[in-house]
Amino acid sequence: MARLCTSHGKSNALPDELHVLTRDILHALLVPVVELFDKATSLAFSATHATKAEQLEYCFTGSARSAFVWLQCFLSSPKELDWCYTKGCPACVAQHSLDSEFSIRLLFAACLLSDVHYPFTLEGPTLPSFRFFLDELERALEQDELYGSAFFERMQPKAMATRNGIEDLIYQCIELDNLLSQPSSPSGPCSPVTSMPPSPVLGAIGTSHSGPEGKGLKVKRSKIAMRQRKLEVEEEAWMEKMLDRCWDQLQPEPRANVVPAQSLDAVLKEGTQVSTQEVEAEEG
């Protein structure tokens, strides 16, 4: 059994029943979310053959991608990960629940997710509903000097968005797991490139996404990437327009006494006739 730290009791003192009960509820709420993220990360690595963790988000779309990125940022902190696994002093674990807006948001969303199917099967078992714990969370926030009574209501839309994104992530992981479990089609001669299992999301390495091995989930770029591409197109159009203006200004203005091109031959012929008539034959 975990012991209380020196900040919450005497050295190696046993926690009371309230601390143990709160710690166990937090464990039941948060650990499934961490396991979901670990499963999503494993599937994304298998599907994309990514070399960097930043590339894994392209395996998911819509709100699932937002939830994946949010969990990726939150769980990258060892302190937050230990809290999700309820390690250490039970009183410290309970106290950390109100440590930041992000921990409150995850706890709020986890309470809403407590009746979602786990593990990755629609016919799988469900956790007991912990929605009653939201009342305790609201009461704790009202009594906290930092947050106050209005914070719970302000947090609700963000928690709902996180909850919807995580649920969407569950369904996309189910689909991705089914795609990865399908037997691969026979291919040509093996090589370091062609011998790698094809990615159902980004296509096999070295192949076109539109090819037969590139079929799968469509990669949808994030809003930031699409906005950046739009700005690049606008910048190219602006630069082309400015270059055209500069070129027009550098061109010399036409002179008024320039002979038209169509009468140039006539002028040359007339000049030649005059010079020929002026030549006189010498007397021999």
User: Per-residue pLDDT tens for 24-47?
Assistant: 999 999 998 999 999 999 999 988
Query: Does a structural domain hold residue 147?
Result: yes
Looking at per-residue pLDDT, the higher value among 12 and 96 belongs to 96
Q: How far from chain centre, in Å, is Cα 261?
A: 63
pLDDT digit string, tens, across residues 135-165: 999 999 999 888 988 999 999 999 999 999 9
**Is-above-0.75 flag for pTM?**
no
Number of helices (H), then strands (E), in the chain:
9, 0
pLDDT digit string, tens, across residues 208-240: 333 434 444 444 555 565 666 677 777 778 777
Question: Is the confidence at residue 54, as pLDDT, over 80?
Answer: yes
What residues form DSSP beta bridges with 126? 117
**CA 274/CA 276 separation, integer angstroms:** 5
**CA 180/CA 177 separation, integer angstroms:** 5
pLDDT digit string, tens, across residues 232-278: 777 778 777 877 777 777 766 655 555 454 544 544 444 444 444 54
Closest by Cα among 112, 146, 148, 149 to 132: 112
Query: Does a structural domain hold residue 10?
Result: no
Query: Does a structural domain hold residue 254?
Result: no
Mean pLDDT of 55-80: 93
Closest by Cα among 230, 229, 227, 224 to 57: 224
Question: Is the confidence at residue 284, as pLDDT, over 70?
Answer: no
44: CB partners within 8 A, 6+ apart: 50, 56, 57, 59, 60, 68, 176
Query: Does a structural domain hold residue 101?
Result: yes
Query: Does a structural domain hold residue 242?
Result: no
Half-sphere exposure of 128 (CA within 13 A, CB side): 8
* pLDDT classification of 205: cutoffs 50, 70, 90: very low
Query: Does a structural domain hold residue 61?
Result: yes
Average pLDDT of every residue of the chain: 75
- What per-residue confidence (pLDDT) applies to 272? 46
First CA to last CA distance, the chain: 139
Q: How many domains does the chain have?
A: 1
Query: Does a structural domain hold residue 258?
Result: no
Residue with tokens 């396991």, as numbered in its chain: 35
CB 58 within 8 Å of CB 176: no
Query: Does a structural domain hold residue 145?
Result: yes
* pLDDT classification of 192: cutoffs 50, 70, 90: very low
Q: Which domain holds residue 99?
A: 17-181
Mean pLDDT of 88-104: 90
Tokens for 162, please give them. Answer: 């996180």
